[in-house]
Chain A
Amino acid sequence: MNFEIILHAGIATGSVLLFAAIGEILTERSGILNLGVEGMMLLGAMAGFGTSLATNSAWLGVAVAVLAGGLLSLAHGLVTIHFQADQVVSGLSLTFLGTGLALVLGEGLTGQTPPLLLDYNIPVLQSIPFLGPALFQDHGLLVYAGYLLTPFTWFYIQKTRPGMHLRAVGEKPAAADTLGVNVYGLRYLYVFVGGCLAGLSGALISLSVSPGWYSSQTTSGQGWIAIALVIFAQWNPFRAALGGYLFGMLRRLILDLQGPRLLFGLVNPLYVNSNYSFFLIMTPYILTIIALIFGSRAIAKKRAGSPSALGIPYIRGERGQ
């Protein structure tokens, strides 16, 4: 076990979580809960992998993955925004739909070897002692893009006019509507953007971080961790990045812990029976619960936390909005 390796792997895996979580943050900030991240991610992973195989272009694969995730999420948008159905039910169904589509369309992709996304080093930065090699060496361009996405999203939400509208639509859509802000349009937009980013994170897995198509094992629940991460992050992109990389490192650590037969001189229970690692796999969720408990008081005071209108369909003119 080498901390630098864990950090390097954590950054790569964490980027997957980061893209999906930032997408979900944007969606939820607009007031729509989309629990279909896992499905959109898997569809993105399949679409990216398959397209790259068919066209010999990994980047075209990424583009198609983004589009696939976005289009799938629009189904959720239609059901919850237009038909005002329950967002939880619709989101869960979306996971089934996305997973099903991906498995059917991905038939026969296992074992194939399409072109993958290449890894690059960032000059100068890579020579920072210790952190340089972990953060700025041998990562795909998308991982580096993740570094920029975080501050950009924060700036967008907090400092731009469209970002202000996004916050208003998720907090009190009726107020935004009475001032001529297009509530429905914006909610569709951010559901779409969320889907695009989930699709992107899927392609990031299948074409870069752990390349290959292993049917539903490709994403293996990372979509759910991304949703937990949004709550852990309290809808803040910086905390999402922190949590994403942390959860990413945990993922790697869990694998590493299963390797050695002896741990600190004792018999390693994970080596003897790998089922015990289930307990470790739970840690992101447990950390989320802990963050929730400690976060809730601060939220009540600072009025941060979940967007007030999250999960509530907006119906113009309905009383009590």
Chain B
Amino acid sequence: MAETNILPSGHTRIDHLEMLGISKRFPGVLANDQVDFSVTSGEVHALLGENGAGKTTLMKVLYGMYHPDEGRILLNDQEVSIQSPTDAINNGIGMIHQHFMLVKSLTVAENVALGSKSSREPLTDLHKVSQRIIDLGNIYGLEIDPNAYIWQLSVGQQQRVEIIKALYRGAALLILDEPTAVLTPQEVDEFFVIIREMAKDGHALIFISHKLHEVIDISDRVSVLRDGRKVGTYLTADATKGDLARWMVGRDVEFRPEIEVVERGEARLKIKGISCRSDLGTPGLRDVDLEAYSGEILGIAGVSGNGQRELAEVITGLRDATSGRIELDGEDISDLPPIARTDKLLAYIPEERMKDGMIKDFTIAENLILREYHKRPFSKRGMLNLKAIERHSEKLISNFQIKTPSQDTLAKSLSGGNIQKVVVARELSRQPRVIIAAQPTRGLDVGATEYVRERLLEERKSGTAVVLISEDLDEILALADRIAVIYEGQIMGVVQREDATPEKIGLLMAGVKEGAE
């Protein structure tokens, strides 16, 4: 008995954990509504739901970061009170957050040691911690250099640090909040091997995702959340992808929308030999050549941080290129400032819509004219023409189905989906020649996602060249006519829609050239 109860990492396992009737309210939202959830030792239990369904909230309740308004937690059939992350850790619960909780300026060992006692107080005992990191790494195939700084690590490596952090604290139950969102398909496979290994050893694992194929791949049971309520818990083996989608969204979903055939036209955007520096002064882009044609969506795939941001900024003029040339409809725009490029009808849907896409404390109406406020009819002789602005925003609010109490509402009080609609409305209503869309559906719910994608497809049909930069490979595969894969600031290859498979793109995303091993 005693022997089977201990995990290889040396900790007692959690046979059964149960959350009963959990409710959590935020101002204006019921994020969890009477949710029941349970997980057992040796099981991978997936928690499936759209963005905003309440998955993270439920797990933060379990990890002591939120206090539920109602509900109880039973651990091995005993009620426990989890008031803080410390309580959770003491009960053997570990959590890997959707947004990594790592201190970038500290080393791996320091991050792991944070919060734990040291054997030579008040000094640190980092050599011991490092040894333990290596030992744990050996058990689960999580190799990592304990002395590396976090900022030096790739996202995949940072995730390993997060897992080691939890194991180091004796986690017998591990919550993984959207752990695959930042990984390449190959990294996901490696990650799943680790997860299975841990489950086999008797850990209890909660795997959060909104990606159906991953849930089907890895989980034993799946619980579906929708709008804060639990739809049900099912054996994964009994569920089909269609079922899961229907439970998650509440209606039937098409997986890969058929894309209308559109005749490809002239090259509208030409990028030749562009290089630039990253924020750290290291090479951000290296000698990038790309062309985007009228009537096509050019997808840019890649793992986060491989130059996507730099690419978008160089094209729009927000970052200086160190060499190379950019042409818009045959005209050299390399030396034009951002505003002149905008005036030449280059549209930009930025990655960080709250920061770069709009001014939070401006009204919807004001945000809708950010590109053209200095021109007639919105401004005459230096004065704003409020009537014209009002008419313009009324038109866009209705054309683009922006849900807002009024056009004088401050942008920051809208939901994420509606904020994105404001950005899309502003950019697309100008009949652009080229659109740079960076992560245009990130964090949006299914409805808003479909909306944005449809709009981009419409633009494609009307002859615009659309550059779709996305870390969501499924999105790229669904929409793009051609897919360029970016890795460490270089274009690894351009794949036609017909030839694109997740495996092929995934290899390029990991920096493996075709033909090479």
Contact = CB atoms under 8 A, between A and B. Distances in A.
Contacts of B1: none
A301 B281 contact: yes
Contacts of B77: none
A177 to B, nearest CB: 7
B60 interface: yes
A177 B123 contact: no
Given A161-B122, A162-B122, A178-B95, A171 B106 contact: yes
29 contacts: A160-B122, A161-B118, A161-B122, A164-B113, A164-B114, A165-B114, A167-B105, A168-B110, A171-B103, A174-B101, A175-B103, A176-B115, A178-B85, A178-B95, A178-B97, A179-B89, A179-B116, A179-B165, A180-B85, A180-B86, A180-B89, A181-B115, A297-B281, A300-B279, A300-B281, A303-B104, A308-B105, A316-B65, A317-B65
A174 B100 CA distance: 10
Interface in A169-212: 171-172, 174-181
A317 B106 contact: no
A172 B85 contact: no
A300 B281 CA distance: 8
Given A164-B113, A303-B149, 14 more contacts: A160-B122, A164-B114, A165-B115, A167-B105, A172-B102, A172-B104, A175-B111, A176-B115, A178-B63, A179-B89, A179-B169, A181-B114, A303-B151, A308-B105
B263 interface: no
A165 B97 CA distance: 20
B84 interface: yes
A175 B118 CA distance: 18
Nearest to B118: A161
B66 interface: yes
Contacts of A317: 60, 65-66
Interface in B428-480: none
B121 interface: yes
Contacts of A177: 85
A159 B89 CA distance: 25
Interface residues of B, number: 34
Interface in A292-308: 297, 300-301, 303-304, 308
Interface of A: 159-162, 164-165, 167-168, 171-172, 174-181, 297, 300-301, 303-304, 308, 316-317
A136 B94 CA distance: 54
Interface in B115-135: 115-116, 118, 121-124
Contact of A176 (B97, B104, B114, B281): B114
B280 interface: yes
A144 B121 CA distance: 27
A172 B158 CA distance: 15
B123 A179 contact: no
Contact of B280 (A159, A160, A300): A300
Contact of A159 (B115, B121, B123): B123
A176 B84 CA distance: 12
B161 to A, nearest CB: 11
Contacts of B281: 297, 300-301
Nearest to B60: A317
Interface of B: 60, 63, 65-66, 84-86, 89, 95, 97, 101-106, 110-111, 113-116, 118, 121-124, 149, 151, 165, 169, 279-281
B124 A167 contact: no
A172 B103 contact: yes
A176 B151 contact: no
A301 B106 contact: no
A253 to B, nearest CB: 37
Nearest to B107: A164
A164 B112 CA distance: 11
A167 B115 CA distance: 12
Nearest to B96: A178
Contacts of B110: 164, 168
Contacts of A171: 103-106
Nearest to B117: A161
Contacts of B122: 160-162
A18 B110 CA distance: 29
B102 A175 contact: yes
A167 B123 contact: no
Nearest to A321: B99
A63 B66 CA distance: 42
Contacts of A162: 122
A161 B280 contact: no
B86 A164 contact: no
Contact of A301 (B95, B121, B123, B280): B280
A172 B124 contact: no
Contact of B124 (A164, A180, A303, A304): A164
B104 A308 contact: yes
Contacts of A176: 103, 114-115
B105 A303 contact: yes
Contacts of A175: 101-103, 111, 114
A300 B151 CA distance: 12
Contacts of B104: 171-172, 303, 308
B84 A180 contact: yes
Contacts of A303: 104-105, 149, 151
B106 A164 contact: yes
Contacts of A300: 279-281
By CB atoms of chain A within 10 A, which of B63, B104, B279 has the most?
A: B104
Given A167-B103, A167-B105, A168-B106, A179 B65 contact: no
Contacts of A161: 113, 118, 121-124
Contacts of B86: 180
Nearest to A320: B99
By CB atoms of chain B within 10 A, which of A165, A168, A171, A178 has the most?
A: A178
A162 B110 CA distance: 12
B279 A179 contact: no
A101 B151 CA distance: 46
A314 to B, nearest CB: 13
Contacts of B84: 180
Nearest to B102: A175
A316 B66 CA distance: 8
B324 to A, nearest CB: 23
Contact of A179 (B60, B114, B149): B114
Nearest to B165: A179
A246 B503 CA distance: 61
By CB atoms of chain B within 10 A, which of A171, A172, A303 has the most?
A: A172
Nearest to A173: B103
Contacts of A301: 280-281
